[in-house]
Structure 1
Amino acid sequence: MDEFSELLATKLEFVDLFVSIGRLGRSLGVHLLLASQRLDESRVHKVEGHLSYRLALRTFSSMESRSVIGVASAYELPSAPGNGFLKVDTTNLVRFKDAYVSGPVPEALSEADQSAQQVGAVQEITAFGLRQQGELLTARTAERLEADRLGRSPAAGDPVPGQSPDSRQQSAETLLEVLIGRLEEAGPPARQV
Protein backbone atom coordinates (compact mmCIF):
# COMPACT_ATOMS: atom_id res chain seq x y z
CA MET A 1 0.00 0.00 0.00
CA ASP A 2 1.48 3.32 -1.06
CA GLU A 3 1.36 6.32 1.28
CA PHE A 4 -0.10 4.35 4.14
CA SER A 5 0.87 7.13 6.58
CA GLU A 6 -1.57 9.43 4.79
CA LEU A 7 -4.25 6.75 4.96
CA LEU A 8 -3.71 6.30 8.69
CA ALA A 9 -3.82 10.07 9.21
CA THR A 10 -7.32 10.22 7.71
CA LYS A 11 -8.65 6.76 8.66
CA LEU A 12 -7.09 5.68 11.96
CA GLU A 13 -9.32 2.57 12.11
CA PHE A 14 -7.20 1.01 9.34
CA VAL A 15 -4.43 0.35 11.89
CA ASP A 16 -6.47 -2.53 13.32
CA LEU A 17 -7.04 -3.90 9.81
CA PHE A 18 -3.29 -3.84 9.08
CA VAL A 19 -2.59 -5.58 12.41
CA SER A 20 -5.13 -8.31 11.52
CA ILE A 21 -3.62 -8.78 8.07
CA GLY A 22 -0.14 -8.93 9.59
CA ARG A 23 -1.20 -11.46 12.22
CA LEU A 24 -3.34 -13.77 10.06
CA GLY A 25 -1.77 -13.14 6.69
CA ARG A 26 1.52 -14.92 7.34
CA SER A 27 -0.16 -18.33 7.55
CA LEU A 28 -1.87 -17.59 4.22
CA GLY A 29 1.29 -16.32 2.54
CA VAL A 30 0.16 -12.67 2.66
CA HIS A 31 2.70 -10.09 3.79
CA LEU A 32 2.35 -6.37 4.38
CA LEU A 33 4.23 -4.07 2.02
CA LEU A 34 3.60 -0.52 3.19
CA ALA A 35 5.20 2.51 1.53
CA SER A 36 5.43 6.12 2.59
CA GLN A 37 7.50 9.20 1.82
CA ARG A 38 7.53 10.14 5.50
CA LEU A 39 7.18 7.62 8.32
CA ASP A 40 4.92 8.71 11.17
CA GLU A 41 6.15 6.46 13.97
CA SER A 42 3.32 7.37 16.33
CA ARG A 43 0.78 5.87 13.93
CA VAL A 44 2.61 2.70 12.87
CA HIS A 45 3.90 1.34 16.18
CA LYS A 46 1.11 -1.31 16.36
CA VAL A 47 1.87 -2.58 12.85
CA GLU A 48 5.64 -2.59 13.30
CA GLY A 49 5.80 -6.10 14.77
CA HIS A 50 4.16 -7.54 11.66
CA LEU A 51 6.63 -6.10 9.15
CA SER A 52 9.24 -8.70 8.24
CA TYR A 53 11.55 -6.33 6.35
CA ARG A 54 12.14 -2.66 5.67
CA LEU A 55 13.42 -0.77 2.63
CA ALA A 56 14.95 2.68 2.86
CA LEU A 57 16.06 4.81 -0.06
CA ARG A 58 18.06 7.98 0.59
CA THR A 59 16.44 9.96 3.40
CA PHE A 60 16.49 13.71 4.05
CA SER A 61 17.83 13.35 7.60
CA SER A 62 19.68 10.85 9.74
CA MET A 63 16.70 10.81 12.11
CA GLU A 64 14.38 9.61 9.30
CA SER A 65 16.89 6.90 8.45
CA ARG A 66 17.03 5.77 12.08
CA SER A 67 13.24 5.60 12.30
CA VAL A 68 13.06 3.32 9.24
CA ILE A 69 16.11 1.04 9.52
CA GLY A 70 17.55 1.83 12.95
CA VAL A 71 20.79 3.47 11.73
CA ALA A 72 21.73 6.67 9.87
CA SER A 73 23.07 4.80 6.82
CA ALA A 74 20.19 5.73 4.48
CA TYR A 75 20.95 9.43 5.01
CA GLU A 76 24.56 8.83 3.92
CA LEU A 77 23.63 7.16 0.61
CA PRO A 78 24.72 8.87 -2.63
CA SER A 79 22.09 11.12 -4.16
CA ALA A 80 21.97 9.07 -7.40
CA PRO A 81 18.55 7.40 -7.76
CA GLY A 82 18.16 3.74 -6.87
CA ASN A 83 20.51 3.40 -3.89
CA GLY A 84 18.98 1.92 -0.77
CA PHE A 85 19.13 -0.45 2.16
CA LEU A 86 17.14 -3.60 2.91
CA LYS A 87 16.76 -4.55 6.56
CA VAL A 88 15.67 -8.18 6.85
CA ASP A 89 16.05 -8.59 10.62
CA THR A 90 17.54 -6.79 13.59
CA THR A 91 21.16 -7.42 12.56
CA ASN A 92 21.28 -7.69 8.75
CA LEU A 93 21.35 -4.52 6.67
CA VAL A 94 21.97 -5.04 2.94
CA ARG A 95 22.84 -2.18 0.60
CA PHE A 96 21.38 -2.43 -2.92
CA LYS A 97 21.17 -0.59 -6.23
CA ASP A 98 17.92 -1.02 -8.12
CA ALA A 99 17.33 -0.82 -11.85
CA TYR A 100 14.91 1.26 -13.90
CA VAL A 101 12.27 -1.05 -15.37
CA SER A 102 9.38 1.28 -16.22
CA GLY A 103 10.81 2.46 -19.53
CA PRO A 104 9.74 1.30 -22.97
CA VAL A 105 11.06 -1.98 -24.27
CA PRO A 106 14.22 -1.39 -26.33
CA GLU A 107 13.86 -2.29 -30.00
CA ALA A 108 16.42 -5.10 -29.67
CA LEU A 109 14.24 -6.88 -27.10
CA SER A 110 11.09 -6.48 -29.18
CA GLU A 111 12.76 -8.00 -32.26
CA ALA A 112 14.21 -10.83 -30.17
CA ASP A 113 10.76 -11.66 -28.79
CA GLN A 114 9.31 -11.81 -32.32
CA SER A 115 12.11 -13.98 -33.70
CA ALA A 116 11.87 -16.34 -30.72
CA GLN A 117 8.28 -17.11 -31.68
CA GLN A 118 9.35 -18.47 -35.07
CA VAL A 119 9.51 -22.27 -35.16
CA GLY A 120 13.06 -23.54 -34.84
CA ALA A 121 14.54 -20.05 -34.45
CA VAL A 122 17.87 -19.85 -32.66
CA GLN A 123 17.93 -16.82 -30.41
CA GLU A 124 21.16 -15.00 -29.69
CA ILE A 125 21.87 -14.46 -26.00
CA THR A 126 22.21 -10.78 -25.16
CA ALA A 127 24.07 -9.62 -22.07
CA PHE A 128 21.76 -8.09 -19.47
CA GLY A 129 22.25 -4.42 -18.83
CA LEU A 130 20.84 -0.97 -19.18
CA ARG A 131 23.63 0.53 -21.27
CA GLN A 132 21.32 0.87 -24.27
CA GLN A 133 18.96 2.98 -22.19
CA GLY A 134 21.66 5.14 -20.57
CA GLU A 135 21.13 8.19 -22.79
CA LEU A 136 17.36 7.91 -22.53
CA LEU A 137 17.53 7.62 -18.73
CA THR A 138 19.84 10.63 -18.48
CA ALA A 139 17.46 12.66 -20.65
CA ARG A 140 14.46 11.57 -18.59
CA THR A 141 16.24 12.48 -15.36
CA ALA A 142 16.98 15.94 -16.79
CA GLU A 143 13.32 16.25 -17.82
CA ARG A 144 12.11 15.33 -14.33
CA LEU A 145 14.50 17.79 -12.68
CA GLU A 146 13.30 20.54 -15.02
CA ALA A 147 9.66 19.62 -14.36
CA ASP A 148 10.30 19.70 -10.59
CA ARG A 149 11.95 23.11 -10.95
CA LEU A 150 8.93 24.42 -12.86
CA GLY A 151 6.51 22.78 -10.43
CA ARG A 152 4.81 20.46 -12.88
CA SER A 153 4.74 16.72 -13.45
CA PRO A 154 6.07 15.50 -16.81
CA ALA A 155 3.44 13.70 -18.86
CA ALA A 156 4.14 10.20 -20.10
CA GLY A 157 3.95 11.31 -23.72
CA ASP A 158 6.15 14.40 -23.35
CA PRO A 159 9.17 14.32 -25.63
CA VAL A 160 12.47 13.56 -23.97
CA PRO A 161 14.97 16.44 -24.24
CA GLY A 162 17.52 15.78 -26.99
CA GLN A 163 15.33 13.19 -28.67
CA SER A 164 13.09 13.92 -31.64
CA PRO A 165 9.46 12.74 -31.43
CA ASP A 166 10.03 10.46 -34.44
CA SER A 167 12.87 8.59 -32.73
CA ARG A 168 10.93 7.93 -29.52
CA GLN A 169 10.18 4.31 -28.70
CA GLN A 170 6.55 3.56 -29.56
CA SER A 171 6.35 0.25 -27.66
CA ALA A 172 3.32 0.04 -25.39
CA GLU A 173 4.97 -2.49 -23.06
CA THR A 174 7.47 -1.57 -20.36
CA LEU A 175 10.49 -3.64 -19.39
CA LEU A 176 8.69 -4.68 -16.21
CA GLU A 177 5.65 -5.92 -18.15
CA VAL A 178 7.90 -8.00 -20.42
CA LEU A 179 9.69 -9.46 -17.39
CA ILE A 180 6.42 -10.34 -15.66
CA GLY A 181 5.09 -11.90 -18.86
CA ARG A 182 8.16 -14.12 -19.09
CA LEU A 183 7.93 -15.14 -15.43
CA GLU A 184 4.18 -15.90 -15.40
CA GLU A 185 4.60 -19.54 -16.36
CA ALA A 186 7.86 -20.11 -14.46
CA GLY A 187 7.94 -21.78 -11.07
CA PRO A 188 5.30 -23.65 -9.12
CA PRO A 189 1.73 -22.36 -9.06
CA ALA A 190 0.68 -20.17 -6.13
CA ARG A 191 -0.91 -21.89 -3.17
CA GLN A 192 -4.70 -21.78 -3.42
CA VAL A 193 -6.52 -20.45 -0.37
Structure 2
Amino acid sequence: SSAAEKVATVLNPSIDSVNQLTGGKSGEVVSASATNPMAPSENLVDGNKCCDDEEKFEGLCYKKCSILTNGAYKTRVSAFQCSESSDFQDFFKSKTEGFPIPCTGFDIAGDECAKGCPHNEGACLVTEEMHLGKCYKKCSELTGKEYPVRTSADTCCKTKNLLECFSPANTKFSPDFNVGGGLSGKEADVHSPEVKLTEATR
Protein backbone atom coordinates (compact mmCIF):
# COMPACT_ATOMS: atom_id res chain seq x y z
CA SER A 1 0.00 0.00 0.00
CA SER A 2 1.09 3.59 -0.57
CA ALA A 3 2.30 5.95 2.13
CA ALA A 4 -0.90 7.93 1.64
CA GLU A 5 -2.98 4.86 2.46
CA LYS A 6 -1.03 4.32 5.65
CA VAL A 7 -1.82 7.82 6.87
CA ALA A 8 -5.13 8.22 8.68
CA THR A 9 -7.79 10.03 6.71
CA VAL A 10 -8.84 13.41 8.02
CA LEU A 11 -11.82 15.23 6.57
CA ASN A 12 -10.92 18.90 6.63
CA PRO A 13 -13.48 21.09 4.80
CA SER A 14 -11.22 24.17 4.86
CA ILE A 15 -8.45 22.39 2.96
CA ASP A 16 -10.95 20.77 0.62
CA SER A 17 -12.53 24.10 -0.23
CA VAL A 18 -9.13 25.67 -1.00
CA ASN A 19 -8.36 22.78 -3.34
CA GLN A 20 -11.71 23.13 -5.10
CA LEU A 21 -11.24 26.89 -5.45
CA THR A 22 -7.78 26.55 -6.94
CA GLY A 23 -8.19 23.54 -9.18
CA GLY A 24 -6.72 20.87 -6.90
CA LYS A 25 -8.31 17.51 -6.24
CA SER A 26 -11.30 17.57 -3.91
CA GLY A 27 -12.93 14.89 -1.83
CA GLU A 28 -11.05 12.83 0.70
CA VAL A 29 -8.18 14.69 2.36
CA VAL A 30 -5.21 12.93 3.91
CA SER A 31 -3.32 15.17 6.32
CA ALA A 32 0.16 14.76 7.82
CA SER A 33 -1.18 16.10 11.11
CA ALA A 34 -3.11 12.84 11.49
CA THR A 35 0.12 11.09 12.48
CA ASN A 36 2.31 14.03 13.51
CA PRO A 37 0.72 16.76 15.67
CA MET A 38 3.56 19.14 14.73
CA ALA A 39 2.80 18.81 11.01
CA PRO A 40 0.74 21.46 9.19
CA SER A 41 -2.75 20.45 7.99
CA GLU A 42 -1.82 19.92 4.36
CA ASN A 43 -3.51 17.58 1.87
CA LEU A 44 -0.97 14.82 1.18
CA VAL A 45 -2.73 13.36 -1.87
CA ASP A 46 -3.46 16.38 -4.07
CA GLY A 47 -0.34 16.03 -6.23
CA ASN A 48 1.03 19.33 -4.91
CA LYS A 49 4.42 19.29 -3.14
CA CYS A 50 3.94 22.94 -2.19
CA CYS A 51 1.48 24.02 0.49
CA ASP A 52 -2.21 23.82 -0.39
CA ASP A 53 -2.48 27.54 -1.19
CA GLU A 54 0.66 27.47 -3.36
CA GLU A 55 1.67 26.40 -6.86
CA LYS A 56 5.05 25.37 -8.23
CA PHE A 57 6.63 27.60 -10.86
CA GLU A 58 10.22 27.35 -12.11
CA GLY A 59 11.17 25.17 -9.14
CA LEU A 60 9.76 27.37 -6.37
CA CYS A 61 6.46 27.51 -4.49
CA TYR A 62 4.39 30.68 -4.98
CA LYS A 63 0.98 31.69 -3.70
CA LYS A 64 -1.56 30.50 -6.28
CA CYS A 65 -2.49 33.07 -8.91
CA SER A 66 -6.11 31.97 -8.60
CA ILE A 67 -6.09 33.12 -4.97
CA LEU A 68 -4.13 36.32 -5.62
CA THR A 69 -6.55 37.42 -8.37
CA ASN A 70 -9.81 35.96 -7.01
CA GLY A 71 -9.94 33.49 -9.89
CA ALA A 72 -9.57 36.04 -12.69
CA TYR A 73 -5.99 35.13 -13.71
CA LYS A 74 -5.32 31.49 -12.78
CA THR A 75 -2.10 30.80 -14.68
CA ARG A 76 1.30 31.94 -13.42
CA VAL A 77 3.55 33.06 -16.29
CA SER A 78 6.40 34.61 -14.29
CA ALA A 79 7.40 35.29 -10.71
CA PHE A 80 5.53 38.60 -10.91
CA GLN A 81 2.70 37.87 -13.39
CA CYS A 82 -0.56 35.96 -13.54
CA SER A 83 -2.48 35.38 -16.78
CA GLU A 84 -5.82 34.01 -17.98
CA SER A 85 -3.97 31.16 -19.74
CA SER A 86 -0.52 30.08 -20.87
CA ASP A 87 -1.23 31.20 -24.46
CA PHE A 88 1.41 33.56 -25.85
CA GLN A 89 -1.10 36.31 -26.65
CA ASP A 90 -2.54 36.17 -23.12
CA PHE A 91 0.94 36.84 -21.73
CA PHE A 92 0.60 40.47 -22.85
CA LYS A 93 -2.74 40.76 -21.03
CA SER A 94 -1.33 39.34 -17.82
CA LYS A 95 -1.77 41.03 -14.45
CA THR A 96 0.98 42.25 -12.13
CA GLU A 97 0.79 43.75 -8.66
CA GLY A 98 2.93 46.84 -8.12
CA PHE A 99 6.55 47.24 -9.19
CA PRO A 100 8.41 43.91 -9.63
CA ILE A 101 10.34 43.82 -6.36
CA PRO A 102 11.33 40.37 -5.03
CA CYS A 103 9.07 38.95 -2.31
CA THR A 104 6.29 41.49 -2.93
CA GLY A 105 3.16 41.64 -5.10
CA PHE A 106 2.60 38.27 -6.79
CA ASP A 107 6.19 37.15 -6.02
CA ILE A 108 5.22 35.72 -2.63
CA ALA A 109 4.68 32.41 -0.89
CA GLY A 110 1.33 31.25 0.43
CA ASP A 111 -0.03 32.15 3.85
CA GLU A 112 -0.44 28.59 5.12
CA CYS A 113 3.18 27.54 5.35
CA ALA A 114 5.65 30.27 4.63
CA LYS A 115 4.44 33.79 3.91
CA GLY A 116 7.18 36.08 2.59
CA CYS A 117 9.39 34.89 -0.25
CA PRO A 118 8.78 31.92 -2.57
CA HIS A 119 10.54 28.77 -1.37
CA ASN A 120 11.53 25.22 -2.28
CA GLU A 121 8.93 22.45 -2.19
CA GLY A 122 7.73 21.34 1.23
CA ALA A 123 6.76 22.97 4.50
CA CYS A 124 7.98 23.58 8.03
CA LEU A 125 6.47 22.19 11.22
CA VAL A 126 3.76 24.25 12.93
CA THR A 127 6.32 25.15 15.63
CA GLU A 128 8.57 26.67 12.97
CA GLU A 129 8.80 29.67 10.68
CA MET A 130 10.52 29.96 7.32
CA HIS A 131 13.37 32.45 7.04
CA LEU A 132 15.53 32.71 3.90
CA GLY A 133 14.27 29.31 2.75
CA LYS A 134 15.05 27.43 5.98
CA CYS A 135 12.87 26.25 8.86
CA TYR A 136 13.63 27.72 12.30
CA LYS A 137 11.83 27.39 15.60
CA LYS A 138 9.45 30.33 15.89
CA CYS A 139 10.86 33.42 17.59
CA SER A 140 7.52 33.81 19.35
CA GLU A 141 8.07 30.46 21.08
CA LEU A 142 11.75 31.09 21.81
CA THR A 143 11.11 34.49 23.43
CA GLY A 144 7.73 34.02 25.10
CA LYS A 145 6.11 36.14 22.33
CA GLU A 146 8.16 39.21 23.35
CA TYR A 147 10.29 39.19 20.17
CA PRO A 148 8.07 37.41 17.61
CA VAL A 149 9.74 38.52 14.35
CA ARG A 150 12.79 36.65 13.06
CA THR A 151 15.35 38.92 11.40
CA SER A 152 18.31 36.51 11.18
CA ALA A 153 19.39 33.03 12.23
CA ASP A 154 20.33 34.34 15.68
CA THR A 155 18.12 37.41 16.08
CA CYS A 156 14.46 38.07 16.93
CA CYS A 157 12.77 41.48 16.97
CA LYS A 158 9.74 43.05 18.66
CA THR A 159 8.40 44.56 15.43
CA LYS A 160 8.19 43.96 11.68
CA ASN A 161 9.62 47.45 11.10
CA LEU A 162 13.18 46.71 9.97
CA LEU A 163 14.50 50.14 10.98
CA GLU A 164 13.20 49.69 14.53
CA CYS A 165 14.97 46.34 14.69
CA PHE A 166 18.32 48.14 14.53
CA SER A 167 17.64 49.40 18.05
CA PRO A 168 19.06 47.06 20.73
CA ALA A 169 15.92 47.77 22.79
CA ASN A 170 13.80 46.02 20.15
CA THR A 171 16.11 43.12 19.33
CA LYS A 172 17.26 40.00 21.11
CA PHE A 173 20.29 38.02 19.96
CA SER A 174 21.16 34.46 20.95
CA PRO A 175 22.89 31.54 19.24
CA ASP A 176 20.16 29.43 20.86
CA PHE A 177 17.69 30.91 18.34
CA ASN A 178 19.51 29.10 15.51
CA VAL A 179 17.51 25.86 15.96
CA GLY A 180 14.69 23.93 14.37
CA GLY A 181 11.32 23.39 15.99
CA GLY A 182 11.38 19.59 16.01
CA LEU A 183 11.90 17.47 19.10
CA SER A 184 14.69 15.31 17.69
CA GLY A 185 16.71 14.39 14.62
CA LYS A 186 17.26 16.82 11.78
CA GLU A 187 14.07 18.72 12.65
CA ALA A 188 15.70 19.85 15.91
CA ASP A 189 18.27 21.68 13.77
CA VAL A 190 17.64 24.35 11.16
CA HIS A 191 16.51 22.48 8.05
CA SER A 192 15.04 22.86 4.58
CA PRO A 193 11.27 22.60 4.02
CA GLU A 194 10.13 18.97 4.09
CA VAL A 195 8.10 17.52 1.22
CA LYS A 196 6.77 14.74 3.49
CA LEU A 197 4.67 17.47 5.16
CA THR A 198 2.98 18.48 1.89
CA GLU A 199 2.74 15.30 -0.19
CA ALA A 200 2.83 11.58 0.56
CA THR A 201 5.61 9.72 -1.22
CA ARG A 202 5.22 6.17 -2.49
Using the size of structure 2 for normalisation, the TM-score is 0.25
Of structures 1 and 2, the larger Rg is shown by 1
Using the size of structure 1 for normalisation, the TM-score is 0.26
Instruction: Report which of the two has the higher share of helix.
Output: 1
Q: Which of the pair has the greater relative contact order for Cα pairs under 8 Å at 6+ separation?
A: 2
Instruction: Report which of the two has the higher share of strand.
Output: 2
